[in-house]
Structure 1
Amino acid sequence: MINRVKDKLRSGKRVLGSFIGFYSPNFIEMIGYAGFDFVVIDDEHGAFSSSELENMIRTAESVDLVPIVRVSYDPSSIQKALDRGAKGVQVPMVNSKEDAIKAVKRAKFPPLGTRGVAYSHRAARYGNQGGKAFLDSSDENILVIPHIETLEAVENIGEIMGVEGIDVLFIGTTDLSVDMGFKEEGANHPEVQGVIRNLYQTASENNVAIGTVAADSTGAQQAFEKGANYVGVVANSVILKALQIVVEDTKRVGNEMTNRGIRK
């Protein structure tokens, strides 16, 4: 198994991906052709059947995208995502060392973890791969990315980042701002930004990769400037903003033409 995103992170490079929360293999292809490094298939907030999830992963691989799944709260969701071929999992609401250990164990085979072993699934090429080589390769190359998105997680960040097998700490800025009580101001509130800055600093001091979400290219650039290694742009936001610009520009031009006609 090869995981280009994990390889880049190991060498200190930054990676850019896109979140997608709706079923569309076609759009996965567009994300790949656009040149992103990875795609996060959002099974926490998105709506996917098991077969749809597998089709999205398969499509990502066809366009050289590393498929990551943000898993649901179902205890079996990590196992199912990895068996279908995901190269990593983002795990929501990891608030303690115990939560982080549990996430790693579900993603790793024994003796490192508790992931169930089978070779008949897609990740093992339906039985064409197996044994020690497959198990060790999976354990080495799968990304385990816990979400830091509550004050409890922030308070326990030292213990969480110290868990062996954690690859990236992912800051869930929206959940964090709500958990801090800033429902209206959101992640832009100065107190939230202060907490985020401290998380970046702590990760940097401990040589731990850190990631976050961005609404657009500007947000992604700002995250990289702050020290992020792993940034996921929300595809829904990018699409909506692009469509709104088309509507606004077209209406503006139409109004200008109408006004010129009136003056005549």
Structure 2
Amino acid sequence: MNPLKKRMTMDGMVTAAWAELGNADVAEIMVRHGWPTIVIDGEHGIGDVETWVGMARAIESAGGEVVLRLPDGLDTTIKRSIDRGFRNFIVPMVNSAAQARAVVDSFRYPSRGKRGYAAPIIRASDWGVRTGYARDEAHDDLVIMLQCEHVDAVANLAEIATVPGIDAIFIGPNDLAASAGHLERMDHAEVQGLLKQIETVAARAGMPLATIVGAGRNWSDLERLGYRFAIGVNDVSMLIDSARRLAAERDGSKLSTPAAGY
């Protein structure tokens, strides 16, 4: 089984870090220094699918696991990314069950879905070495997390959660807050209420949850609440925080405000 998929079914919460800079060396350094699960951010980070493949090779060679947040849920984006060997995905801005079904179908070969066939000649099948890839492994090996980051998604979550093939709902609290009219105010009572609503609906449906650290919740809070996957730090903020701290030490001044994650 896909190691990440297996870990998400076990006790405890999988923790991860964002890779925003599109740099394979930076991602490898993060793996070798305590962050073995790296989420390559294809939505807001630097690079394209070939950049991300290079990063994935570095992460995996260091013993890490890779998750790719796609830039969108389009059929062509999914097809290119899965053919290039990614198997753990976060798909942004899924607001309805119809969208969720279309996304899941894009990951699957017919008759389960609508993915275009090129199994013997793609990196995903180890260039044809995995002869059973298209029949079984291509479907069973995937982790698909769909982002709930809009008030419309919250309203439709019970129906979204019934779509087969979803491994987790990933809450994007910043965008969720913005959609409710509270940009950069994740602590607002309405936003906190939406988070609790999502957690209640997901628990009722038996749907695992994933998210980022923040919105008033730290690692321990999220694990206590039953989240299966959480992302905390990112490479940009690590660099900014270290640069500020070292500059402050040099100047003998007080530390400036730490860089915000997201």
Q: Which category describes the TM-score, using the shorter chain as reference length?
A: 0.7 to 0.9
Superposition pairs for residues 63-142 of structure 1, below 5 Å? 63-73=62-72, 74-118=74-118, 119-130=120-131, 132-142=132-142
Deviation by residue 1:61-115 (Cα, 9 ceiling, x = unmatched): 2122221111123431111111111121111110000011111111122221111
Change (3 A) 1:225 1:252: farther
Change (3 A) 1:241 1:227: farther
1:41 CA displacement: 1.0
Q: Check if 1:163 corresponds to 2:194.
A: no
1:251 CA displacement: 2.8
1:172 match: 172
Change (3 A) 1:229 1:79: same
TM-align CA RMSD: 2.1
1:261 match: none
1:205 CA displacement: 3.1
1:196 CA displacement: 0.6
1:207 CA displacement: 2.4
Superposition pairs for residues 181-196 of structure 1, below 5 Å? 181-183=181-183, 185-196=184-195
1:214 CA displacement: 2.4
Structure 2: runs of 5 or more not aligned = 255-262
Worse-matched range after superposition: 230-239 or 96-105: 230-239
Higher normalized helix content (fraction of residues):
1
2:260 match: none
1:166 CA displacement: 0.3
1:194 CA displacement: 1.4
Deviation by residue 1:101-158 (Cα, 9 ceiling, x = unmatched): 111111122221111221211111112223x444411201111110000000000010
> What letter matches 1:148 in structure 2?
C
1:258 match: none
> What letter matches 1:147 in structure 2?
Q
> What letter matches 1:41 in structure 2?
I
> What letter matches 2:198 in structure 1?
L
1:253 CA displacement: 6.3
2:257 match: none
The 8 Å contact of residues 213 and 219 in structure 2, kept in 1 or not, is answered as yes
Worse-matched range after superposition: 19-28 or 245-254: 245-254
